[in-house]
Structures are given as structure tokens and as C-alpha cells.
A and B are shown apart, each in its own frame.
Chain A
């Protein structure tokens, strides 16, 4: 892997999103952290589980809320070489959703595989 962060080490980061957007600031704040981490050339993984799957639901329209719709940013992550997006199958099912309801290309994995993936990370940030 390219390591042009002078003297630095590339670590496996996982940002775990488990809250719905707009009700709290967590989803937006994690997205900010993800974009910052991209600037440091880290091996970034994004996980969406529990209500976090709602962050990438298609068709978000916050006009009447007076709140910025930050969901298009998830589609821009590819441009920052952040392409490792994982969504938990069980969390989708619990909410009556499928991969077709999501606005970005993701890998849908089971809860058991999500747990395994977490075990491979150097740093995990959950919100």
C-alpha cells in the first residue's frame, strides 16, 4: 500500500455508523471524520449497522426540515478513495430495507461477518 504520509503508518480504520441521520449530529460528524481520515491516506472502512443504515437510504429530502441534506456526500466518498463500505444484512431486514434502497454501492454482509471484520481493525470509532 502507498505510504506517503511521512513517517506514518497506514492503519485499518473502521468508522461504525449506528444512528439515524438528522435526529442527532453523530452521522454528520462521523462523515467529517471519514473525510479527514482520507487526507491521511489511511485504510478506511465504513460500516453501517442498526439505525446507521438509514444514513444511506435513497431519496432523502430535508428541505422542509431546514437542515442540510448531507447524504450526497456518501456518493462522493469514492472520489476520496473511500470504497470499503459495508452494510449489515440483519439491520437492513429489521427496517424493511434491501440493498436496492441504498444510494451507494456497498457490500452487504451478515452480522457475524461484520463482527469478524471489526476484529481485523486497528482502530474502531463507533457513533
Chain B
């Protein structure tokens, strides 16, 4: 059964994303939103880990949160999908359970 993992805190402030990446199974989805969207960008200290995770998991980032922070959706790590709120809802519906990494 696949899980949708959600992360909404910056990986530079908390270990939520790190822990999530360590517990995501192949076929799971990981949704980055709110302050976690920085992790989706090219050139950060987390970019390599995101690129690696994208090989086995579906990694998505909320476009509205990138836009609000002046982060360019065209400059996300290869393999990361920029999605909207409706896409977020689809992810929740498409996976058997949701794990919100508080």
C-alpha cells in the first residue's frame, strides 16, 4: 500500500524531511508544501537527496508555495513535479494513507 508523505517545514530548520526520506518506500509519494518547498529547488544542500529519492518515489511540490516565496517552478530538481491544490487532493486520493511528518 502506498503512502502520501507530506512535509511542510524547511529541512534547514527541522529534520522532518530527512526522516521522511528515510522512511519512504518505493512507490510512495512525497508532497513538499509551505516552508518545505525550498527542498525542491536546484542548488540547495538537499538537492542530491531529493534527486535520489525521485528515482523511487513521486516527489511533488506545491506551485502556489513556490510562487509565494519567489522560487522559480522551472528551477526545481529534475524529477520533481510542480502541482496545484487539485493535484494535492488527487495525491491524497490516489494513495492508501497519508503520513503528515509533523
Contact = CB atoms under 8 A, between A and B. Distances in A.
Interface in A107-127: 111, 114-116, 118-124, 126-127
Contact of A119 (B2, B19, B101, B102): B2
Interface residues of B, number: 17
A49 B96 contact: no
Contact of A26 (B2, B15, B102): B102
Interface in A44-77: 49-50
Contacts of A124: 3, 97-99
Contacts of B1: 119-121
Nearest to B101: A126
B22 interface: yes
A126 B19 CA distance: 11
A interface secondary structure, majority: mixed
A126 B5 CA distance: 10
A122 B22 CA distance: 20
B47 interface: no
Contacts of B3: 118-119, 124
B25 interface: yes
Interface of B: 1-3, 15, 19, 22-25, 28, 96-102
Interface of A: 16, 18, 26, 49-50, 111, 114-116, 118-124, 126-127
11 contacts: A16-B99, A18-B102, A26-B102, A50-B19, A115-B25, A116-B25, A120-B1, A121-B1, A124-B97, A124-B99, A127-B102
- Identify the 5 closest CB pairs spanning chains A and B, nearest first: A124-B99, A115-B23, A127-B102, A119-B25, A115-B25
